[in-house]
Structure 1
Amino acid sequence: MKHYNISRHNSFYAVGLSYKKADAEIRGRFSLDVPAIDSLLITAKRQGIDGLMVISTCNRTELYGFAQHPFQLIKLLCDHTQGTIEAFQDVAYVYKNHEAISHIFRVGTGLDSQILGDFEIISQIKQSFYRSKKHDMANPFIERLCNSVIQASKRIKNETALSSGATSVAFASVQYILKNVPDVSNKEILLFGTGKIGRNTCENLIKHTENKHITLINRTRAKAEEVAGKFHLVVKEYGDLQTEIRKTDLLVVATGAQLPTVSKALIHTDRPLLILDLSVPKNVSDDVKELPNVTVVHLDQLSQITDETLQRRKKFVPKAEAIIEDIKHDFIKWLETRKFAPVINALKAKLNTMKEEELRFHAKKLDDYNPEQAEIITDRIIQKITRQFANHLRKTEVDTQDSLQLIQEVFQLEINTNE
């Protein structure tokens, strides 16, 4: 495998953990909110890391960046979360260079999602990129890579039906309710948390259950009222949570809190209560399961629901993979060109210097000297020489680094590293 790192000393790594090996509790320990991501990026910049992007969703936490050794990135992650190196090693993955590039393409196009074809991840990748850019941690490599992943995602959406049909965490939760809650349209439903998943769940509940008894509670009342206004729902104060739980048949928890917000002490009810916890980290304490009339279902159980929609989607995976390979090939070509561009530019500059010397010499010697003609001929020769070198460097069987070194030595080139 060829190396695709920009510098000779650093490699590009993807380090992280996902739903595949880490359960919700472990993922919760390694999850990062926005202030923690900002703090991590500031620390990385101070440590001299050139280029880093952080993704933290309910299904994964990942760092994409440049380092001499992946441990630099792993330590950054552990230092800014509740996770430990030992816990990380048990469930983690580390990809380097080409494998890291392939991984972010699969993640960004929904092929690595817990629910196949769930495209919400692409907006999270965009946000992660803008956050890195804000902290001056998005180098040209990361910028070009993100744009390529976004391009692949768009093409897969337009050219395949990988994302067809309603399948997401929000949809899966409603599917679960429809299958397991009899007479759902007459049940009292309480939605706690009105973030993206909460809003989507609310929309799906209204669409598929025809329930008119949905109440919203959010820490910030204004946000709850915004969602409630759209669907004509009831909003209650955060302080009423305990009272409202007592009256409800179904509690959907979708807050973005880093610690559990629903504990055993909060629940005093004689009626059967189903709780769906759609949050990572978990927002419902484990001790709630001890209550005799309460059933708790977490996001991970919901995401295992497979229906005809998912089976249909699987048919489009080969086409999606072909699109990824196509765009990834262009990215790798750009990367290789970027690697040798400074040397080719320096070679061109050196040949132009030689050309100027020769033209000045012949201008003095020849009586019928034609400067325009001489300029055209010599420029064409320089173009052909540099193109020959560039074509040689693009060949897969060529050791690019050795060839670049040889060109520099033969022509005694001074390289401008800022190019």
Structure 2
Amino acid sequence: MTISMIGIDHGRAPVDIRALFAFTKKNAGEAMEQLKEKAGIYGCVILSTCNRLEIWASHEEEKELSLYQCLCELKGIEDSSYEDYFITRKDREAVSHLFHLAGGLKSQILGEDQILTQIKEALNFAREHFASDSVLEVLFRMAATVGKRIKTEAPLAHGNPSVIHQALSTLKEQGYEARGKTCMVIGNGEMGKVAAQTLRENGGDVTVTVRQYRSGIVEIPAGCKRIHYGERMEYLPQCDLVVSATASPNFTLKAEDFAQLTLERPLILLDLAVPRDIDPALSEIEGITLYDMDSFHSAGASPEQKKSIEKADRIVQEQLEEFYQWLEGRDVIPRIQEIRDDAVEDLNLRIEKILKKTPMEQEDRQKLLEAVDTAAGKVVNKLIFGLRDCLNQETFLECVAGLEKLYEE
């Protein structure tokens, strides 16, 4: 059995390339169901966020599998040149990557912890579509454990390291403050709510757009106002700053919508969505400054963060070894059971010769043989699993292989 993944992220491709391969929640579910049906694939998980797309699969070791080809089939893409933007990892390299990712070590904003939630949600969604298997279940659960440990034992960030915080920090370095500004947030999902709350905490006058059919039941962050999504263009000329963070496949702000619009003041647009929410052509309009997901990155790690990264690496290594102990133990258990059965059968053949010469009722002889079976099985288990506990993995597997040879004939 092999664990494989293919991934594209903010470090390998610009936002427009990533957008080609992004999945909505609905599409990800359908895609996992289709992947699971492919011969040789035992389980799969799709992790699709604003900054990355990863497809994970556990599959037959001998199976020739191109996850890039699978992805292109799912997305209806025939251009092979995009493959250069992807990276493929297998087994230990793949597992190590996932553990580092869960700890925030590979995020656009070093130490951000939204990825930990996204990893958990990816596994839950795979479960809902019956796409995961026992190996990916344990792998992703253990990744969540790694993320929690790093967050607790080796914190990489101080305060909130989300993209909106990084964006406001970057704007502040440029002399721009959110305090006193009129702000609109398009989208009331997780990222939209974080953006609205953050702008409010920074002193902004914040209005959130809500789809009309949901406006009566959707909660918005405390202190924020709401308008219907359809009213956004009427409200926009009053704004200093607009954030768009939706899962819409279409632009929420189009260049053509601004043709008859008169802006009362300079306008900053923050596009925190993949695919893009805001038409890139708006950056060409005088008075508008447009930022997207690739505009904000962490600065280099501080000396304190470097120490945390070293500690985080040790945590990853510990969990990596634990995962492979489980995985190799899982594979060897059927072999141990077969050795036990062969050993018990060997003992029975030997003891039956003695019992035949021992005067007793046939019923008593049968009960004695059953008791010997049970006892012999327990003794063999104790011996073999005792070896596992006191030997390193390589030596233990050599012992198992040696025991198997005893009963090959």
Structure 1 segment 305-320 matched on structure 2, within 5 A: 305-306=298-299, 312-320=304-312
Q: Does 1:141 align with 2:131?
A: no
Matched with 2:28 is 37
Matched with 1:52 is 44
In 2: Cα distance, 1:340 partner to 1:306 partner = 46
Is the Cα–Cα contact under 8 Å of residues 348 and 373 in structure 2 kept in the other structure? no
Matched with 2:346 is 354
TM-aligned CA deviation for residue 316 of structure 1: 0.3
Is the Cα–Cα contact under 8 Å of residues 263 and 284 in structure 1 kept in the other structure? yes
Matched with 2:64 is 69
Deviations 1:160-193 (A, max 9, x none): 2224322111211222343446464332211111
Deviations 1:202-229 (A, max 9, x none): 1111112x23x3211133563697443x
Deviations 1:50-95 (A, max 9, x none): 1111000001000110342341x21222233365552431211000
TM-score w.r.t. structure 2 length?
0.86
In 1: Cα distance, 2:257 partner to 2:375 partner = 85
Q: Does 1:274 align with 2:272?
A: no
SS of 2:394 mapped into structure 1: coil
SS of 2:46 mapped into structure 1: strand
Partner amino acid, structure 2, of 1:242: M
Partner amino acid, structure 1, of 2:407: F
Matched with 2:106 is 112
In 1: Cα distance, 2:177 partner to 2:129 partner = 52
TM-aligned CA deviation for residue 14 of structure 1: 1.0
SS of 2:179 mapped into structure 1: helix
SS of 1:22 mapped into structure 2: coil
Matched with 2:319 is 327
Question: Which runs of 5 or more residues in structure 1 are unaligned?
Answer: 1-5, 414-419
Match of 2:357 among 365, 370, 374: 365
In 2: Cα distance, 1:163 partner to 1:411 partner = 57
Matched with 1:417 is none
Matched with 2:278 is 284
**Identity within the alignment, %:** 23
Match of 2:236 among 237, 241, 245: 245
| Distance change >3 Å, CA 378–CA 242, structure 1 → 2 | closer
TM-aligned CA deviation for residue 348 of structure 1: 0.3
Match of 2:95 among 90, 94, 101: 101
How many residues get paired?
A: 396
Is the Cα–Cα contact under 8 Å of residues 347 and 386 in structure 1 kept in the other structure? no
SS of 2:270 mapped into structure 1: strand
In 2: Cα distance, 1:395 partner to 1:253 partner = 52
| Distance change >3 Å, CA 224–CA 115, structure 1 → 2 | farther
Is the Cα–Cα contact under 8 Å of residues 74 and 85 in structure 1 kept in the other structure? no
Structure 1 segment 100-249 matched on structure 2, within 5 A: 100-180=94-174, 182=176, 184-208=178-202, 210-211=203-204, 213-219=205-211, 222=214, 226-228=218-220, 230-249=221-240
TM-aligned CA deviation for residue 111 of structure 1: 1.0
In 1: Cα distance, 2:332 partner to 2:12 partner = 40
TM-aligned CA deviation for residue 305 of structure 1: 4.4
Matched with 1:3 is none
SS of 2:45 mapped into structure 1: strand
How large is the Cα RMSD of the aligned pairs?
3.2
Deviations 1:105-162 (A, max 9, x none): 1111211111111111121111111222222221111111112111111211222222
Structure 1 segment 364-403 matched on structure 2, within 5 A: 364-366=356-358, 378=376, 382-383=380-381, 386-387=384-385, 395-396=393-394
In 2: Cα distance, 1:104 partner to 1:155 partner = 14
Partner amino acid, structure 1, of 2:394: T
TM-score w.r.t. structure 1 length?
0.84
TM-aligned CA deviation for residue 345 of structure 1: 0.3
Partner amino acid, structure 2, of 1:282: R
Is the Cα–Cα contact under 8 Å of residues 217 and 224 in structure 1 kept in the other structure? no
Query: Which stretch of the first structure deviates more once superposed, 277-286 or 179-188?
Result: 179-188
